[in-house]
Structure 1
């Protein structure tokens, strides 16, 4: 399906975000059986679950979440996705979930981590151990984060999957290392195949690095460029790669960086300013290090992402200019102290 010039509304946006590619339709057949998305209620979960269903309409797709957002369960069910309300911290509820040969683990905690570190560690460290034991016979694709890496030089390609040791900044990032280690341990002990997807900044019109920068440009707010570079990827392609990863699981499970080549925050702001008719204001200067990942391995497996930066800038500026919806969840991409 050709990409649109802009998005009329949230309905069209979510339709495009959940559109499966021919490559996904082909790959997903290599991972037969029910797909269960744990943590389907997050920012990416609903469109990922819809994409899975559209890629193979006869397959059972189940979404698990607490479903605290009004209307989400009904929306997913209208698209043929079975929904189960469960708190993954509740071992009884977890044990009551049906078996599924394919698990996409999207549960976790980031925003609000500072000040409630115990819950953050429970969600990002304890829940993975429970899930890994409950679904020992499944393929498990785990959404992790690029935050498990320390800062690397901006002059290089970014941190590769082999980077060691994982010594990130802040409790949130270290709790994410715990998530990976729990899944790794049980994958080794139980021979559970999987992948750890170290995602860096998926882009949706309603949130993401481009959304954050565009809002600041439009409001004439200074943009901190001390974190001068980032990796971003169109959320539809992040969804697609995550689902295709079910067909590319390894035993024991291994990490895979998930994003696009690095982009300059300054250049993003200038490009958005040109489209929005506003001159961006900057504060600070680019540090020689940033949180960056090398995505060459994912590109080898899946091919290079097709949605480029210029297209995403066009979409974002149009959305912001027309007052499109926002999830009001800043990424805090500029944070260099690990506090979220």
Structure 2
């Protein structure tokens, strides 16, 4: 691990992505999870893994239990389905500003943004670089993508105002473990096992670049250590663009279930495949191929399921 003997504050640790990161980084550093812990058992689960939990809410500036200073901040919490733009700006943009103000003297700050910040491209296999047009293309939650784009503006500005070394990492599809809903592949796996339909948009090929939590966790200390002023912006997804229907069929083969697809006209989210040269240049290579990652996800989320061997 690139960082050792430091304190790392993690937001969003009661969710899927940051929950894996918080648990995965325990040992070499003191990991502190800042959250409301409203879900039953969420605090106890993290504490059992060795994470120090402090109750608070950065959106309301409730830092009463939080430490005054930390070495690093990994900020993954977000309102992913704000009902209004006002709600998205308050929770995602203003809340992040309060967190950066609180820990403006940290050595590094990683803000987990989203590939939903990009404007949609008509070619579903288009490869996005970090300087592509922004605009927000999260059709499942229209206010999410635009509020995360606004949040990037806040983060970029405060990085320079405070001299706070920062990385903005635009996350695509994170998946892997038993925490929360498992991300898009995890939800689809659960639907397969329950013999529920997988719903996709009619007549629209849908590509994403899934990244396994083991790679995410390994990348985090590198990103924290290599944060810069002005902020470094990277795409954060897996190395390979995969059509969503392809990975669902692969999951079905692994668990012995034939997927039942239902197609409708409701958009989900825009296709996204990333150019990852900037991520790789930082030393954040992916080691878990998506097919291997799907096997790991099944084993972690459903250990009772026998994974079939596929030639």
> 2:164 matched to 1:196?
no
Work out which of the residue numbers 86, 108, 116 in structure 1 matches 2:78: 108
1:251: Cα distance to partner? 0.6
Partner of 1:128: 96
| Cα pair 2:55 2:66 within 8 Å, conserved | no
1:264: Cα distance to partner? 1.3
Partner of 1:221: 197
1:284: Cα distance to partner? 6.5
Q: Write the distance in 1 (CA, Å) between the matches of 2:189 and 2:15.
A: 22
| Cα pair 2:206 2:244 within 8 Å, conserved | yes
1:320: Cα distance to partner? 5.4
| Cα pair 2:21 2:217 within 8 Å, conserved | yes
Q: Write the distance in 1 (CA, Å) between the matches of 2:58 and 2:147.
A: 17
Partner of 2:143: 171
The Cα offsets for residues 158-199 of structure 1, whole Å up to 9 and x where unpaired, read as 2111223x1123211000011111111111122211101111
| Cα pair 2:214 2:288 within 8 Å, conserved | no
User: Residue 61 of structure 1: SS of its match in structure 2?
Assistant: strand
Partner of 1:272: 251
Partner of 1:70: 40
Q: Call closer, same or farther: CA 1:280–1:67 in 2, change over 3 Å.
A: closer
Work out which of the residue numbers 101, 104, 118 in structure 2 matches 1:149: 118
| Cα pair 1:213 1:223 within 8 Å, conserved | no
Q: Write the distance in 2 (CA, Å) between the matches of 1:167 and 1:230.
A: 18
Q: Write the distance in 1 (CA, Å) between the matches of 2:45 and 2:196.
A: 36
Partner of 2:225: 247
User: Residue 93 of structure 1: SS of its match in structure 2?
Assistant: coil
Q: Call closer, same or farther: CA 1:125–1:33 in 2, change over 3 Å.
A: same
Partner of 2:272: 291
Q: Structure 1: which 5+ runs fail to align?
A: 1-24, 325-340
Q: Call closer, same or farther: CA 1:94–1:201 in 2, change over 3 Å.
A: farther
Q: Write the distance in 2 (CA, Å) between the matches of 1:315 and 1:84.
A: 30
Partner of 1:10: none
Q: Write the distance in 1 (CA, Å) between the matches of 2:46 and 2:303.
A: 29
Give 4+ residue runs of structure 1 displaced > 6 Å after superposition: none
Q: Call closer, same or farther: CA 1:216–1:83 in 2, change over 3 Å.
A: closer
Partner of 2:16: 43
Q: Structure 2: which 5+ runs fail to align?
A: 307-311
The Cα offsets for residues 240-260 of structure 1, whole Å up to 9 and x where unpaired, read as 212321111111112111111
Partner of 2:30: 60
| Cα pair 1:187 1:251 within 8 Å, conserved | yes
> 2:237 matched to 1:259?
yes
Question: TM-score, normalization: structure 2?
Answer: 0.82
Partner of 1:9: none
Q: Write the distance in 2 (CA, Å) between the matches of 1:201 and 1:212.
A: 12
Q: Call closer, same or farther: CA 1:122–1:205 in 2, change over 3 Å.
A: same
Question: TM-score, normalization: structure 1?
Answer: 0.75
| Cα pair 1:223 1:280 within 8 Å, conserved | no
User: Residue 44 of structure 1: SS of its match in structure 2?
Assistant: helix
Aligned residues: 288
Q: Write the distance in 2 (CA, Å) between the matches of 1:210 and 1:201.
A: 8
Report the aligned-residue RMSD. 2.7
Q: Write the distance in 2 (CA, Å) between the matches of 1:222 and 1:87.
A: 35
